[in-house]
């Protein structure tokens, strides 16, 4: 799989985004050695996780509602898009029930469109000041995630990825200086992953380039 090698050469990891694709397609990609897969719907993820090999690392990459955390808490590998204190607290609670620690990323809004979820830098730093997030013993914040604007304007996309990396570096200095596990920048999709890799992505989330166009 040349794509995976390209990504590994840049020092990043590939999350194969399998949302909407049937299990057989996932099994094909699994047979090539891919172990990290991403989904954005709770029910679809829960069903696939039950049917597919146990050594898959399942990433939840979409907007997650607090009341659905319990369905994926027993097995999810990484939750990419935490964008509220309420959600972070709920993940901690459900992780504790399952006697495990769940890794998460904080989602930043870097795109121009206001439909995208995520924190502004202001909001996030306010939450970290105000709330006792360090008391959440069963959730581990391992980095940040963001989605660039959907546009052909490479200058803009690059600037947005740079912005995300700067948020990451700032957090690393201010709140996670002693946390070696705080090291992930999840950015880059089929259309923009080369730019994301160039700007320091550690994890790209790629669907259609691997599986073909979704219907
Ligand atoms: C669907 C999705 C992707 C993958 O998109 P492609 O363009 O198919 O590579 C990446 N990240 C998120 C959050 C997604 O929802």
The answer to whether the CB of 146 is under 6 A from ligand 1 is: no
pLDDT(115) > 90: no
pLDDT reported for residue 49:
98
pLDDT by residue (tens digit) across 135-158?
Answer: 999 999 999 999 999 999 999 999
pTM of the predicted model, to two decimals?
0.96
The answer to whether the CB of 40 is under 6 A from ligand 1 is: yes
Atom of ligand 1 nearest to the CA of 15: 10
pLDDT(213) > 90: no
Can you tell me which residue has the tokens 């990504």?
Answer: 7
pLDDT(114) > 70: no
Contact status, residue 188 vs residue 197, Cβ threshold 8 Å:
yes
Q: How confident is the model at residue 203 (pLDDT cuts 50, 70, 90)?
A: very high
pLDDT(214) > 90: no
pLDDT by residue (tens digit) across 32-52?
Answer: 999 999 999 999 999 999 999
118 Cβ neighbours under 8 A, 6+ residues apart: 81, 83, 107, 108, 109, 110, 145, 146, 147
Q: How confident is the model at residue 80 (pLDDT cuts 50, 70, 90)?
A: very high
pLDDT(10) > 70: yes
SS3 per-residue string spanning 109-153? CCCCCCCCCCECHHHHHHHHHHCCHHHCCCEEEEEEEECCCCCCC
pLDDT(186) > 70: yes
Atom of ligand 1 nearest to the CA of 61: 13
- The arithmetic mean of pLDDT across residues 75-94, rounded, is 96
* Centre of ligand 1 from the C-alpha of residue 131, in Å: 31
Mean confidence (pLDDT) of the chain: 95
- The arithmetic mean of pLDDT across residues 85-89, rounded, is 95
Q: How confident is the model at residue 55 (pLDDT cuts 50, 70, 90)?
A: very high
Q: What is the C-alpha separation between 74 and 65, in angstroms, rounded?
A: 16
- The arithmetic mean of pLDDT across residues 59-76, rounded, is 97
Q: Is 208 exposed, middle or buried (0-12, 13-18, 19+ CB in 10 A)?
A: middle
**7, 40, 63: which to mutate for ligand 1, most atoms within 8 A of CB?**
40
């Amino acid at each position: 799989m040349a794509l995976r090698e390209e990504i590994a050469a840049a020092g990043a990891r590939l999350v194969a985004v399998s949302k909407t694709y049937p299990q057989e397609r996932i099994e094909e990609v699994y047979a090539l050695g891919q172990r990290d897969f991403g989904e954005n719907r709770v029910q679809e993820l829960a069903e696939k996780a039950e049917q597919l090999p146990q050594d898959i690392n399942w990433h939840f990459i979409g907007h997650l509602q607090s009341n659905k955390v319990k369905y994926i808490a027993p097995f999810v590998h990484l939750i990419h898009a935490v964008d509220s204190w309420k959600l972070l607290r709920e993940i901690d609670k459900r992780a504790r029930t399952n006697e495990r620690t769940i890794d998460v990323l904080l989602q930043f809004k870097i795109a121009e469109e206001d439909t995208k979820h995520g924190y502004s830098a202001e909001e996030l730093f306010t939450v970290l000041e105000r709330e006792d997030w360090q008391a959440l013993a069963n959730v581990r914040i391992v980095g940040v995630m963001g989605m660039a604007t959907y546009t052909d304007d490479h200058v803009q996309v690059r600037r947005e990825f740079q912005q995300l990396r700067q948020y990451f570096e700032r957090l690393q200095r201010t709140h996670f200086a002693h946390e070696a596990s705080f090291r992930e920048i999840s950015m880059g999709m089929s259309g923009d992953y080369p730019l994301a890799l160039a700007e320091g992505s550690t994890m790209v989330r790629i669907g259609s380039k691997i599986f073909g166009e979704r219907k």
